[in-house]
Amino acid sequence: MNSHRNWTRITPADNIPPREGRAVKIGDLEIAVFNINGRFLTIENACPHKGGPLCDGIVTGTAVVCPLHGRHFDLETGMPVRAAEPSCLAVFPTCVENGVVMVDLEAGHRTLESDAA
C-alpha cells in the first residue's frame, strides 16, 4: 500500500521540537507537522471551528488542543476526540528520512468526509 508515496521534503526534523507543532505553507495548503517524541504526524493546520492555528496547540498524547477554543483532534486520524465536536481534519502520511521530515501531500485524507463520499 505504501509503496507509491509521493514524498515532499518539508524541513529538517530538528526544526520541530518534541511535543510541539509547526505550520508549513505549501501553495494553498497549510499543514501542521508535529513531533510526538520522535514520531512525526501531519494534519491540516486550520481548526474547522474558527480557523485556529493547530500548530500552536498543546499536545496531549497523540492529540492536539486548538489554542483558540480548545477543541481536541487526534493527529493520527484527524478525528475530533470528543463526540460533541463534529468536524474532522485531513491527515497526511509522514516519515523522516536522513533527518528530513517528508510528507505525502497527495495522500491526505479526511476520515469522515472522504470515506463517506
- CA distance to 50, 54, 84, per residue, from 103 (Å): 25, 17, 30
The pair phi, psi for residue 47, each rounded to 5°, is: -65, 135
User: What values do phi and psi take at 85, rounded to 5?
Assistant: -100, 110
105 binds, among ligand FES, other proteins, none (CB under 5 to 8 A by kind): other proteins
- The site string for other proteins over 62-91 (x = CB under 8 A, - otherwise) reads ---x-xx-x-------------------x-
CB of 1 to other proteins, least distance (A): 18
Q: For binding to ligand FES (CB under 6 A), which residues are involved?
A: 47, 49-52, 66, 68-71
